[in-house]
Structure 1
Amino acid sequence: MLVERLVARWAAKDTAGLSRLFADEVRWWTAPVPGAPWPAEVHNPREVESFFLAFRAVLELTGITTRDLLVDDADAVLTGRLHARVRATGAPADFDFALVVGVHRGLITDFRMHTDTLAIARALARDVPPVSP
């Protein structure tokens, strides 16, 4: 399954191989993260690779734990947790995620990654204030 290959290549830090899983035109969405160096807009495999290279530049991925995978025809939703280390500080950083992936002709055409953006922003920049209850 394509989603499993996506996770395997991400975990293996194979950004070039990961980008080859995407179609020439990609509909992409990730929530903006203050202080993150990765591009907000991604449209093609080259930009997919740039996104994951920028991600790796600040967060060293140490593992991915998957929880649930739901597949409906050409769409899939994967939930799990990213385990990383902040390169600048060495601090551990773990984030829950939900990936929504659409596939057409064996390639990823839609990619939406939902993450805890506040936790990521706090890990990248220590000056993000806490949220009041």
Structure 2
Amino acid sequence: MLVERLVARWAAKDTAGLSRLFADDVRWWTASVPGAPWPAEVHNPREVESFFLGFRAVLELTGITTRDLVVDDADAVLTGRLHARVRATGSPLSSDFALILGVHRGRITDFRLHADTLAIARALAQDVPPVSP
């Protein structure tokens, strides 16, 4: 299954292998994270690799815990939690995520990653103000 290969290659820090899972034309969405070095717009496998290299530049992935996987024909939704360490400070970071994928001809054509961007921004910048209730 393609989702399992994606998670395995991400956990193995195989950015080149990750990029080969994607179609030549990718519809990509991730929320913007202030201070993050990864590209906001991604359209092709080369830019997919840049995204994951940017992620690895500031966050050392220490694990991925998967919770649920729902597959419906060519679409999949994976939920779980990313575990990382901020390279600059050594601080741990855990963030829940939902990953929505579309697949066509064995390659990922749609990628939507929903994560706790506030927690990630705080971990990277250390100066993001708290949200008041």
Q: After TM superposition, is the score higher than 0.5?
A: yes
2:23 is matched with: 23
1:77 is matched with: 77
Residue ranges of structure 2 left out of the alignment (5+ in a row): none
- In structure 1, distance between residues paired with 2:75 and 2:126: 37
2:106 is matched with: 106
Q: Give the total of aligned pairs.
A: 133
Q: Can you list the C-alpha shifts for 1:61-113, whole angstroms capped at 9, x where unaligned?
A: 00000000000000000000000000000000000000000000000000000
1:123 is matched with: 123
- In structure 2, distance between residues paired with 1:69 and 1:88: 33
Identity, % of aligned pairs?
Answer: 89
Aligned CA RMSD, in angstroms, stands at: 0.3
Which segments of structure 1 move beyond 2 Å, counting only runs of 4 or more? none
- In structure 1, distance between residues paired with 2:131 and 2:88: 24
For residues 25-104 of structure 1, the aligned pairs below 5 Å read 25-104=25-104
**Paired amino acid for 2:100:** V
